[in-house]
Amino acid sequence: MIPVLIGWAYVPNVGFGGTARLWDTIIRSKGAMFSMAMAGVSHFGVAAFITIYGLKNGLSFADASLLLTAFMLGSLLLEVPIAGLSDYFDRRYFIVGCTLTCLACAVYLPIAIYNPINASILVFMWGGTIAAIYSVALAIIGEVYTNQDEQVAANAGYSLMESIGGTLGILAIGSSMALIGTDGLPYIIMFASLVYFSFALTRYPVE
C-alpha cells in the first residue's frame, strides 16, 4: 500500500468531459479493438483450460501444470521483444501475423501435447504472441486517439473488447470440450483466429 500511496501524488489529472462515445471509438479503430476480442479468447481460454487439456491427454499433473507456467512465462518474457518488432512494420499487419501464429499454435497443440517439452515450448511462444497483440493493439489505439476524452473512451473500449472475448471464449471452449472432447480448446481458438484473419483480409488491402 505504501508505494501506491506515494505514487498517488504523481498520477496525472485526466479529465473526462463525456464528449467521446465508447462505441464510436471501438468502430473507429475496429482492427485493433477486434484483435483484443480475439486475443481475449486465446489468452483466457488457454489460461483456464490448458492444464485440464494436458491431463485429459495423458500428461502427469506436474507436466500439465507446467504448461500453464510456460504460457504465463511466455506472456511475461516475450511480450516486449515481440511487440518491439512492430516498430519496424505496419502494426496492423503485425497483429495479423501474430494472429496467424496463434492459429498455428492452436493447430499444432493436439500434436505437441503428447511430449511435455514440445508442448511447453509451444505454449511459451503462444503466450508471448498473445501478449504482444495486447501491446501492439494498445499502441495503435494510442496513435489513433490523441484527445483526452477519446483516450479514456478508447481505453474503456479496449478493456471491454478483451473482456467480451475472454468471457465468450471461456464459455465456448468449456462447452465444446464437454460436447466434442478436449480438442474443443484448439478448435475454438482456431475459429476465433480465422474470424479475425478473415476480417483483416477485408479491412487491410494487400499492396
Q: What pLDDT is recorded for position 206?
A: 47
Q: With respect to residue 69, please indicate whether it lies within any of the assigned structural domains.
A: yes
Q: With respect to residue 13, please indicate whether it lies within any of the assigned structural domains.
A: no
* Averaged pLDDT of the chain: 86
Chain position carrying cell 505437441:
112
Alpha helices, DSSP H only, in the chain? 2-8, 22-28, 30-56, 61-77, 79-84, 91-112, 116-144, 148-180, 184-203
Q: With respect to residue 19, please indicate whether it lies within any of the assigned structural domains.
A: no
CATH number at residue 116: 1.20.1250.20
Total domains in the fold of the chain: 1
Q: Cα separation of 74 and 124, whole Å?
A: 4
- Any idea which of 60-74, 101-115, 130-144, 148-162 has the lowest mean pLDDT? 148-162
pLDDT for 50 beyond 50: yes
Q: With respect to residue 85, please indicate whether it lies within any of the assigned structural domains.
A: yes
Q: With respect to residue 175, please indicate whether it lies within any of the assigned structural domains.
A: yes
For the record, the C-alpha cell of 34 comes out as 477486434
For 129-176, the pLDDT digits (tens) are 999 999 998 888 888 887 777 777 888 888 888 999 999 999 999 999
Range of 121's domain? 38-203
Report CA 54 to chain centroid distance, whole Å: 21
pLDDT for 14 beyond 70: no
Q: What pLDDT is recorded for position 157?
A: 84
The percent of residues above 70 in pLDDT, for the chain, comes to 88
pLDDT for 19 beyond 70: no
Q: With respect to residue 20, please indicate whether it lies within any of the assigned structural domains.
A: no
Q: With respect to residue 33, please indicate whether it lies within any of the assigned structural domains.
A: no
Q: Cα separation of 177 and 180, whole Å?
A: 6
Q: With respect to residue 24, please indicate whether it lies within any of the assigned structural domains.
A: no
Phi, psi of 149 (to 5 degrees): -60, -45
For 83-92, the pLDDT digits (tens) are 888 888 888 8
What average pLDDT does the segment 17-44 reach?
80
Q: What pLDDT is recorded for position 138?
A: 86
By the 8 A CB rule, do 52 and 195 touch?
no
